[in-house]
Structure 1
Amino acid sequence: MIQSAPSVRRTGSSSLLPGLVVVVVGVAGAMAINLAFGAVSPLMAALALGAILGNCGISTVTLAPGLAFAARRLLRVGIVLLGVQLAVPDVLKLGLPVLLLVLVTVIVTFFSTQWFGRRLGLSRDRTLLVATGFSICGAAAVAAVDGVTDSDEEDVMTAISLVTLYGCLAMVALPFAQTFLNLPEESVGIWAGASVHEVAQVVATAEVVGSAALATAVVVKLTRVVLLAPLIAGISFWRRRTAQAAGSKKPPLVPLFVGGFLAMMALRSLHLVPDDLLAPLKTAQTVLFTAALFGMGASVRLRALLRTGWSGLAVGLLSTALITLISLAGVLAVNLFN
């Protein structure tokens, strides 16, 4: 069994303090690594530092509530702030071919991953979490689906671990593949934004390639994130009907942080966010994602992943390969017709 962190909702603020202190130290360490080695983003460094903490044999029971708070709550705040970085005109500038690429990639990956999971014997809830995380936006999507389902902590942590593992592999593989494919920076940005699982992982991947890749990747990835809202609403609607039939409590139709993301996006689109606030909000978003990735890294247990059996690892591998190849095919098609 995966040893999950105690639920933050059942812990007092004092129990969060030890873990949050370690998160602050981890964020500072990640920022220092980024200053010393510019090619290593603070997000990637935080993930590595968290994974070292989680797998070095040191007991993290006392730290678990604070680490879980960073990985879950701070991540959600960061997602809300992401909305400020995206305006509807930015999405429309991508053009219809790229928007169709994103839509097709998400739909095919979501339903194909569920098919993989059923064929390989994963539970329905675990398969749903993995499918949403891999097709939309990683741990944030897993957390959102967990908010409207009855998934247990083991399913959640397994899905997050798989997203983190294969997202890290994609962070290395895409820039490496780009040297052989000789794609333009913007094309690599589209590819990364449409295929890499986490928002933070997309940023870390595109930063290695260049500024043009980064700018495009962020918009494409955030366009994927926007699709989280209708997806969660659809899952929640289905669950509400099931809950109504069973007489149990109905989940929210749209999670609060998803609504916050859309509200921030609307404010930016209506030019209600002052331009001089964009940079500080982006810095705050980076810090929040760095903290969240440190917490996520600490939650990954390599031995626990192996204990889930080959089926979970196989579903993650197949889903990652599928979304990578579909999005690459779409990028090549867009380049061909442009």
Structure 2
Amino acid sequence: MFRRATAVLLSPLAHGRQASFWRGLLLAGSIAALGLWLAELPRLRGWGLSALTLAIVLGMLAGNSFFPAIAKSTAAGVDFSRSRLLRLGIILYGFRITFQQIGEVGVAGLIIDAAMVASVFALAVTLGPRWLGVDRQTAMLIGAGSAICGAAAVMATEPVVRAPAHKVSVAVATVVVFGTVAMFLYPWLYPYLGMDAHAYGVYAGSTIHEVAQVIVAGNAVDQTAAASAVIEKMLRVMLLAPFLLLLGWALRRGRGRVAATGTPLAVPWFALGFIAVCGFNSLQLLPASWVEGIVRIDTALLAMAMAALGLRTHAGAIRQAGIRPLLLAAALFLFLLTGGWAVNVAVARWFQLAF
């Protein structure tokens, strides 16, 4: 049995696909381990640089230096880390959160998310085609990515609008660029926002593009901000399903060239898994030492996902996107930054007065 397993691992097929998987996993793991080690250094800890932030920065440095030369031989493992490990990390993140904390976000958080998704997408499909000359399909893809959950929303929206591959690539590039900017900008702005850590987390979760970027922006402040940011973001991610249903219905009724017939609905299962783990954690059935160990494993998984995301973030993405889609994505980013802050403050004040 052992010899047979060894023969399979050493076969040409294993040396190809499996070797790419393990090499990529090792590369992401090595970068993550370096980020985890650097985060423990007193000076870097004093600067507020978390392991996740350092992992994605190191990944970006590698991604724009030596990684292109070994991309083909490591692609399977890097992409697995960027997608599957990220989703697993998000699910296990539920062990840091309870339903009591979710209740603190509550109806106000859901109202904020719904307002941001609707307003950002409406702005994208209005501003892009009418004022910036961006075609409607690209505008919808960029709008979905900016409004909900970055590249994942772009990929989920693509079969609904039936956009060609190059438009999907442009949309993904723009949301990655501005989501990365937000990830570093928000923690720097935190002292000037007039928000406590919980409110900042809600603001970050309701306005930053990717789930991974929200995690980094929240952790850069503290655990309270990180918890509320992830909860708010997951509520926003779960709006993806009704958004796709409504978009498909609207396109079917429209008379434009874009049709959406017979398209499957993408369900964000990892978001449901996150909520399930939160519920389990709320019951406090596991010993505290077990939960602490799971949280450590989760941090390592998320660091690997951050490293892989950094490896796939290339400077060429800006050139690939072109100026007009970038201008649209920039306008949406500024609206998320400023309009999102206004929506968060207004809803919070309304709830204080009403309740």
User: What range is the shorter-chain TM-score in?
Assistant: 0.7 to 0.9
Q: What SS does the corresponding residue of 1:12 show, helix, strand or coil? A: helix
Are residue 259 (structure 1) and residue 269 (structure 2) matched?
yes
1:189 and 1:310, CA in 2 relative to 1: closer, same or farther beyond 3 A?
same
Stretch moving more, 37-46 or 150-159 = 150-159
Where 1:254 maps in the other structure, the secondary structure is: coil
State the identity %.
27
Distance 1:322 1:76 in 2: 28
2:149 partner letter: C
1:225 CA drift (Å): 1.8
> Does 1:49 pair with 2:61?
no
Change (3 A) 1:43 1:154: farther
Q: In structure 1, which of residues 290, 305, 311 is the aligned counterpart of residue 318 of structure 2?
A: 305
Using the alignment, how far apart are the partners of 2:108 and 2:261 within structure 1? 41
TM-score (norm. length: structure 2): 0.76
Establish whether residue 224 from structure 1 lines up as the match of residue 236 from structure 2: yes
Equivalent pair of 2:174/2:321 in contact (CA under 8 Å): no
Give the counterpart letter for 2:223 in structure 1: S
1:317 to 318, 321, 330: 330
Aligned residues: 323
Shift of 1:278: 4.9
Structure 2 contact 97–227 (Cα < 8 Å) conserved = no
Are the structure 2 counterparts of residues 46 and 319 from structure 1 closer, same or farther at C-alpha, using a change threshold of 3 Å?
Answer: same
Tell me which of 204, 217, 221 is aligned to 2:216.
204
**Cα separation, partners in 2 of 1:290 and 1:312, compared to 1, 3 Å:** farther
Query: Residues 145 and 294 from structure 1, CA distance in 2 versus in 1: closer, same or farther, beyond 3 angstroms?
Result: farther
3-state SS of 2:73 partner:
coil
CA deviation after TM superposition for structure 1 residue 206, in Å: 2.4
Query: Any idea what the Cα deviations from partners look like across 1:207-232, whole Å, max 9, x if unmatched?
Result: 33333323322222222122123224
What residue identity is the alignment partner of 1:262?
A: L
Which has the greater radius of gyration?
A: 2
2:31 corresponds to 1:26: yes
**C-alpha displacement at 1:114, in angstroms?**
3.0
- Secondary structure, counterpart of 2:119 in structure 1: helix
Select between 121-130 and 191-200 the one with higher mean Cα deviation.
121-130
Contact 2:174–2:317, Cα closer than 8 Å, also in 1: no
Matched-pair contact (CA < 8 Å) for 2:102–2:231:
yes
**Residue pair 1:118, 1:127 contacting (<8 A) in 2 also:** yes
Deviations 1:217-260 (A, max 9, x none): 22222221221232244456778999xxx9x99543234xx235
Which secondary structure state, in structure 2, belongs to the residue aligned with residue 62 of structure 1? helix
**What is the one-letter code of the residue matched to 1:115?**
T
Please give the per-residue CA displacement for 1:60-110, whole angstroms capped at 9, x wherever unaligned.
232333322322333333444456666666444324333212210121112
Structure 1 window deviating more from structure 2 (258-267 vs 93-102): it is 258-267
Report how far residue 154 of structure 1 moved. Answer: 3.9
CA distance in 2, matches of 1:149, 1:282: 39
Match for 2:65: what amino acid?
C
1:130 Cα deviation after fit = 2.2
Equivalences for residues 280-299 of structure 1 within 5 A: 280-299=293-312
Tell me which of 153, 159, 178 is aligned to 1:141.
Answer: 153
**Structure 1 residue 192 displacement after superposition:** 1.2
What residue is the counterpart of 1:93 in the other structure?
A: 104
Q: Is the 8 A contact 1:236 1:252 kept in 2?
A: no
Structure 2 residue runs without a partner (length 5+): 1-15
Aligned amino acid, residue 269 of structure 2: G
- Looking at structure 2, the residues matched to 76 and 151 of structure 1 have their Cα atoms a distance apart, in angstroms, of 25
Alpha-carbon distance, 1:40 to partner? 1.4
In structure 2, do the counterparts of structure 1 residues 96 and 103 end up closer, same or farther at CA, with 3 Å as the change threshold? Answer: same
Taking structure 1 as the reference length, the TM-score comes to 0.79
Structure 1 range deviating more: 283-292 or 46-55: 283-292
Q: 1:301 corresponds to which letter in structure 2?
A: H
Partners of 2:163 and 2:305 lie apart in 1 by 21
What is the aligned counterpart of 2:86 among 67, 75, 94?
75
Q: Distance in 2 between matches of 1:117 and 1:146?
A: 17
In the alignment, structure 1 residue 187 sits paired with structure 2 residue 199: yes
d(CA) in 2 for partners of 1:311 and 1:135?
18
RMSD: 3.5
**Residue 299 to residue 236, structure 1, CA distance change in 2 (3 Å):** farther
- Judge conservation of contact 1:71–1:296 (CA < 8 Å) in 2: yes
Relative distance call for 1:24 and 1:182 in structure 2 (3 A) is same
Asked whether 1:329 is paired with 2:330, we answer no
Render the CA deviation track for 1:98-127: whole Å, top value 9, x for unaligned: 321221012111222233333434444433
Opposite residue 40 of structure 1, the aligned amino acid is: L
- Tell me, yes or no, if the aligned pair for 1:67 and 1:295 is still in contact at 8 Å: yes
**Structure 1 segments unaligned to the other structure (5+ residues):** 1-10
Shift in CA distance, 157/21, structure 1 to aligned 2, threshold 3 Å:
farther
Greater alpha carbon shift after TM alignment, 14-23 vs 144-153 = 144-153
